[in-house]
Structure 1
């Protein structure tokens, strides 16, 4: 039962990141009109670095795909970790409106990392 729940949660998690990455390339989800000034200025600054958004998008897409595949989920968690850290930092410092969903994503990420901790020992030992 635990494995099935983890698969469904990982599938949704992976699809969210794949969607976010694809949106950075194709812009099919419109930006809200009433964003706070701090968010607009931060996003504008990030857009000024021409290679940053494509890099984040590729990491989100690859990480999301890996996260869905059970054998590669541990690797997907490592690929997503820096992106999710940036999302958490952004939603803690700049705009807290999306903090609840961000915390849910962090909990899922932590769950997957803890479940696969035995696979990481070779990296640190």
Structure 2
């Protein structure tokens, strides 16, 4: 079970590092989008600091998620981005594949949060 968790966390972290790096380097092709989706991405582009901020959070969170000692912090850092991804996939990209990937990633994130719940008790007072 320990190895399965490490492999899942490694893949999870690498996916977020890749997504974060793409926000700076733009090396992945953009998928075809509906006019409504294009409008949203144009609006995101108008806020010049938004995508670099999300990219930085994804890279930092992904790195923290991979390292077992910092995984609990990485799970918290990534959670808001993960919730945004799920909401985005269920509202603007209604493909089955996108929804499945988003839900699986959210479940991995929740699993790590639950697995580290003892570490969070001091935060909750």
* TM-score range for the pair, normalised by the shorter chain length: over 0.9
Which residue is 2:38 aligned to?
40
Q: Which runs of 4+ in 1 moved over 3 A?
A: none
Report how many residues are paired: 123
Contact 1:38-1:95 within 8 A present in 2 as well? no
Q: TM-score, normalised by structure 1?
A: 0.95
Which residue is 1:74 aligned to?
72
**1:10-29 mapped onto 2 (5 Å cutoff):** 10-29=9-28
Asked if 1:51 corresponds to 2:49, the answer is yes
Q: Which runs of 5+ in 1 are unaligned?
A: none
Q: TM-score, normalised by structure 2?
A: 0.95
**1:81-120 mapped onto 2 (5 Å cutoff):** 81-97=79-95, 98-120=98-120
Backbone CA RMSD of aligned residues = 0.8
